[in-house]
Amino acid sequence: MAAAAAAMPVSTQGALVRRAASGDAVAFEQLVTVRADRAFRIARAILGNDPDASDATQEAFVSAWRELPKLRNPDSFDAWLRRILVNACRAQLRGRKRVREISLDVSHDRREPGPAVSDQVGDTDLLAHAFERLDADKRSLLVLHYLDHEPVATIANALGVPVGTAKWRLSEARAALQRALSAEGEARR
């Protein structure tokens, strides 16, 4: 979201945020328009389909509008919006059938490295199915890190957790994806 809004000077963004916070819907529309694509992409990567991503993104923007008067620092609008978006995606996922993360009977830690994914399947299909096995929090972490290329401190901000916690949870999410990938591969053998 920050990257999408980068063309707009911070001072202009701040002014727009202040105007929107005071009830100016036109100003808010400008904020939404330049951020819609990036927000939607994050939501779609987490949720995996257009309808859910669209619902979560809309919900996030409407929540942002409602809560905007409470935002203390207009320059942090993007980080704040990202956090709302991730929460909307989590809520969307929790509304679906509970996602059960795959559990394996052998620790990945003790396995020797195996063949590369590309050697096995040649595309991202297997990995995408593995990603579907992860819960909302792990998906969000991986999307913010690997799609949005956010540093851990920013991810911690978006998830509302301390930096150290975000760091180990990111590690945990990657390890869970690794396990899910192995399980997907097993299932297709």
Partner 1 sequence: MTNPISFELDDAQIERMLAKRAGSEAPIAMVQAVMATVGTTKQQRGGWLPRLQAPSASGNRSFILVAGAALISLSIVAGLIGSRLVRPPTDLVQVPPVATTITTPSPVPTPSPASTPNPTPSAVPSPSPTPVTVVNGPLIVYHIGTKGIELFTLDPVGGKRVTLGNLQNRTGPAGQSIHWSADHRYAIAFGSSDSVVARIDVGGRSVTPLRLPANGSRDSVSPNGDLVARLEDEGSRTYVSVVDLEGTEVHHSAPLPEGVTPVSAIVWSPDASSLLVSSCFPCEVTPPRTHLFQVPVDGSPVQDLVETTSSEYFGSMRWSPDRSTIVYTNGISCDTCSGGVATLRVADRVLTQLTTNGGEEPAWSPDGRRIVFARGFEAPDSGIYVMDADGSNLIRLTTAATGVTDGDRDPIWSPDGASIVFSRGPYDSSMGDLYIVPAAGGEPRLLVKNAVADW
Conformation bin of residue 188: beta by default, left when phi > 0, alpha when psi is -120 to 50: alpha
Rg of the chain over Cα atoms, rounded to whole angstroms, equals: 18
Single-letter code of the amino acid located at 27:
A
Told to check if 73 binds partner 1 by CB under 8 A, we report yes
Closest CB 9 distance from partner 1, rounded Å: 19
- Of 157, 4, 2, whose CA–CA distance to 77 is shortest? 2
Considering only residues 78 through 137, tell me which ones interact with partner 1, judged by CB under 8 A. 79-80, 83-84, 87, 90-91, 94-95, 98, 100-101, 103-118, 120, 124, 126-128, 131, 135, 137
Give the single-character DSSP code of 108.
Answer: G
* Residue among 5, 7, 54, 150 that touches partner 1 (CB under 8 A): 54
Told to check if 4 binds partner 1 by CB under 8 A, we report no
Structure tokens at 65: 């509008």
Residue number with CB closer to partner 1 (12 or 22): 22
* Residue among 17, 32, 86, 89 that touches partner 1 (CB under 8 A): 32
Structure tokens at 92: 């969307």
* Residue among 5, 16, 143, 150 that touches partner 1 (CB under 8 A): 143
